[in-house]
Amino acid sequence: MEASIVVNAAYEISAIDPRIYGGFLEHLGRAVYEGVYEPEHPTADEDGLRQDVIDLVRELGMPMTRYPGGNFVSGYNWEDGVGPREQRPERLDLAWKALEPNLFGTDEFVKWCRKADTAPMMAVNLGTRGPAAAQALVEYCNHPGGSAWSDRRRANGSEEPHGIKLWCLGNEMDGPWQTCAKTADEYGRIANEAGKMMKWTDPTIELVVCGSSSPAMPDFAAWETTVLDHAFGIADYLSLHIYFNDHAGNRPLFLAQPERLSRFIEDAAACCDFVSARKKSGKRIMLSVDEWNVWYHSHGQGAKSEEWTAARPLLEDTYDMADVLVVGGTLNALLNHADRVKIACLAQTVNVIAPIRTETGGRAWRQTIFHPFALTSRYGRGTVLRQVVTSPSYDPKAPAADKLGHVPYLSSSVVWRREAGEIAVFAVNRSLDESLALDVRLEKLGVASVIEHLQIADPDLAAVNSADEERVKPTRIEGAVIRGETLSADLAPASWNLIRVQAAGPVA
């Protein structure tokens, strides 16, 4: 099979906001306890934080991490997680039927962020709590001092403000699984009032309002427009959540799932623009895809662990080679919508549907999906170029609701890294049995030579990584060449690829 891409230095989609490579840390399963926080671990520092995990998070290159949930946040009293640990209460976590010991809270999270080279993105509880609690948390975190909550922070050991600039107004409030779920009108009003008080406390913060929990929600689009009717004035971003699975056992359909995200992004952006037009406003709401990943391997795991216990193992997906292709395709979808998507969070970071897994008291390792994320985060910084793609396609036999139609075998994005003097081509070949001969015409970019071609592929799509063996990982491939302005390379069947090309910059 053959495919081609044409890009030109004059045609850009957008500069990339590095926050699209964000992560997510929820009080769920072994994400916090035995994940990032394990005081008895051999690598634990003076704050009880696992250094081996911190090193891997740094390798992922996550500029931002969302916390503390997720479903957890809709029943969370943030005050329980600050102050002397011996005075913190243990609580039942209704979202995950677990026990929350509150040994790790806001201040510990901020310390972890600083050590892991990531910035905090904080969610407030708009389920069981409301605007007053949300405002108090902003005051605790960001006000310099001289007020009750800011002085409480200083007494707890943080003299300087935490300076948290990005805040989520609740989580998945349209979902009946959510603690104290809301109608669109109920949520829109409470989000607006909370947002007003939070921005009055710190006018420099940015706010994310809850969009639909997935494109399959029955009220999708109606939810967005109603919520934004109420909260348009305080909203900076609208959130989108999406997960992919292979419950149907249809691999071609599974590999096509990132195309659902592209449609979701475009529809959500249309909702934002509709409200803006109706309000006769020039304001443009941007998007935050602050939960996305493959999630299906661990379904039913909860039945194997005891309820109402701390750090009960939940949602520990063991990712395989097929998941590499879906994660790579999702990253391409995010990059190709960089004009609207400014924030995205891989859900999650450690143990719970995560690129990093750990043993209690033992090793930490990279799951298969670690590698496409880390390499895209490292080399997918700069400006996304607009592509003209020609590719053979296939019918994934998708349900009508997915609206996929025929799907190209090639999923790709092209990033111009001006300061580094190079072009990064990210490409997934979704064909299970045929290689793809790819030509990329790089017009007026001053291309010179191929720096490297990294590929992730395995003849067994069920291949996984473990603490004992990192089987699925990038390998250097020879054969990619530059002829004039055209890059030519061969993409193996069912492979993820990064091809870096030296480029001097625009030429006449």
The span from the CA of 231 to the CA of 198, in Å, is 13
Question: How many distinct helices (H) and strands (E) make up the chain?
Answer: 10, 26
The span from the CA of 264 to the CA of 259, in Å, is 9
Q: Which residues pair with 483 in a beta bridge?
A: 486
Residue 488, exposed/middle/buried by CB under 10 A (0-12, 13-18, 19+)?
middle
Cβ–Cβ contacts within 10 Å for residue 431, how many?
20
Outline where DSSP puts E strands in 36-164.
Answer: 64-67, 91-93, 98-100, 119-124
In the block, which residue shows the tokens 């994934």? 396
Amino acid occupying residue 377: S
8 Å CB contact between 472 and 324: yes
Largest interatomic CA distance in the chain:
69
The span from the CA of 345 to the CA of 24, in Å, is 6
Cβ–Cβ contacts within 10 Å for residue 273, how many?
13
8 Å CB contact between 259 and 330: no
Closest to 289 measured CA to CA, from 224, 213, 235, 228: 213
The span from the CA of 433 to the CA of 495, in Å, is 10
Active site residues: 172, 291
The span from the CA of 195 to the CA of 374, in Å, is 33
In the block, which residue shows the tokens 């793609």? 389
Closest to 311 measured CA to CA, from 113, 46, 90, 85: 90
Closest to 94 measured CA to CA, from 80, 73, 109: 73
Of all helices (H) and strands (E), which one includes residue 467? none
Q: Which residues 6+ apart lie within 8 Å of 322 measured at CB?
A: 246, 251, 254, 255, 461, 462, 494
The structure tokens listed for 146 are 């001289």
8 Å CB contact between 95 and 71: yes
State the pairing for strand pair 23-24/12-15: unpaired
Cis peptide before 68 (omega within 30 of 0): yes
